[in-house]
Amino acid sequence: METRKVQTVGNGTYTVSLPKEWAESQGVTAGDTVTLHDYVDGVLAVQTCDRSGGDVPTAARIESADPAVIERGLRAAYAAGVREVTLESDEPLTAQRRRAVERVARGRIGMSVAAESEAATTVQIMLNSEEVSVSQSLRQLAFTVRAIHRDAVEALAAPPGASPVGSRDEQVDRLAAMIERSVSRGMADLGEVDALGTTRSELFESWTAMRELCRLRDAAVEVGAAAAALDGPPAERRLESCRDIGRAVRGAVADGVGVVLGDEDAGVARGALGDLREVRERIDAFDRRLDEAGASAPELRRVSRALRRSADRGDDVAEIGLRRAARRGESPRDAGAER
């Protein structure tokens, strides 16, 4: 770390000299233009114009005829922030490879096949950062995951023929992938952070919350799978216990996401953490009564484990909310009222 003295020039403008070694390593000379990015946390970043976005890849190539390799490559390119991907092969794109491309494109917002020939296929990702709202995507993701979780718990009352997750699972993947892409581009290019209208720390917290919400979706899928394996609905008191636990978890998740997004204060996150402590006590009590559940006990224990994982994910989301509240300067003790 180096220090520089702030000076003034004739018209009263403040100036700070650039370290010579840094300027030479970046190819900056007198007369060149640099971009300045200022942040609410007091950081002023200097970035050379020819390097702005230079760490964000614009194009990639996949040289393979293996559908699995193509699929993995496209997913990785999207997450990395690539704008265009060219698939090259010595032979024409087969129906199996085309389906692999379409599968990934269908699960990624803004991705589509732009051109196709016998020699190559070009896939483009047309997402304008100024039109992307990470906060709104996280809010929609949380809403979708809570709906999946609610339906999975309700499936205990009347196990459906198909999974209660349905097509909403794809919506979760699409939203999660877009958040991951936005975070990846923002971490590599300060201009992308400006375009997204957020900060790098907020981007990271949104990404962390997104990962926890996806894990909550996975726990909901497990509840749905256990419901489908039951011979019939559990006893009414056990069913109501599961419903109560599920409602409390989803409420805590909603509160935690609200704090992460800045809609609520730290007191709401603390209240959610308190609610989840009570939820774990209810789950413990539920577990103790399962010895009387007879043949349905194994599947109900499976439900219990999934509900406990759901509570853990809610706990993590609330903790992320507290972290963001702390950065906003809210005191853990005086922000908001306890519920």
Burial group, residue 301, by CB count within 10 angstroms (0-12, 13-18, 19+): middle
pLDDT tens-digit series, residues 109-131:
989 988 887 778 899 988 777 77
pLDDT tens-digit series, residues 166-178:
778 899 999 999 9
- Rounded Cα distance between 73 and 64, Å, is 10
**pLDDT exceeds cutoff 50 at 257:** yes
Contact 56, 192 (CB under 8 A): yes
pLDDT at 55: 57
Domain boundaries, the chain: 7-48, 59-125, 130-327
The length of the chain is: 339
Q: In sequence order, which residues have a C-beta less than 8 Å from that of residue 274 and are 6 or more positions away?
A: 338, 339
pLDDT tens-digit series, residues 296-313:
889 999 999 999 999 999
Give the residue among 285, 132, 293 at the shortest CA–CA distance from 203: 132
pLDDT at 334: 44
pLDDT tens-digit series, residues 175-202:
999 999 988 888 877 777 777 888 888 8
pLDDT at 295: 82
Q: In sequence order, which residues have a C-beta less than 8 Å from that of residue 23 and are 6 or more positions away?
A: 29
CATH topology of domain 130-327: Methane Monooxygenase Hydroxylase; Chain G, domain 1 (1.20.58)
Mean pLDDT of 325-333: 75
pLDDT at 308: 96
- Rounded Cα distance between 178 and 174, Å, is 6
Mean pLDDT of 308-327: 93
pLDDT at 80: 86
- Rounded Cα distance between 329 and 31, Å, is 40
Confidence of residue 135 (pLDDT cuts 50, 70, 90): very high
Confidence of residue 49 (pLDDT cuts 50, 70, 90): low
pLDDT at 339: 42
**pLDDT exceeds cutoff 80 at 12:** no
More confident residue, 243 or 193: 243
pLDDT at 158: 79
pLDDT at 338: 44
- This prediction has a pTM of 0.81
Give the residue among 284, 246, 68, 260 at the shortest CA–CA distance from 149: 246
More confident residue, 55 or 101: 101
pLDDT at 40: 53
**pLDDT exceeds cutoff 90 at 160:** no
The DSSP bridge partners found for residue 111 are 125
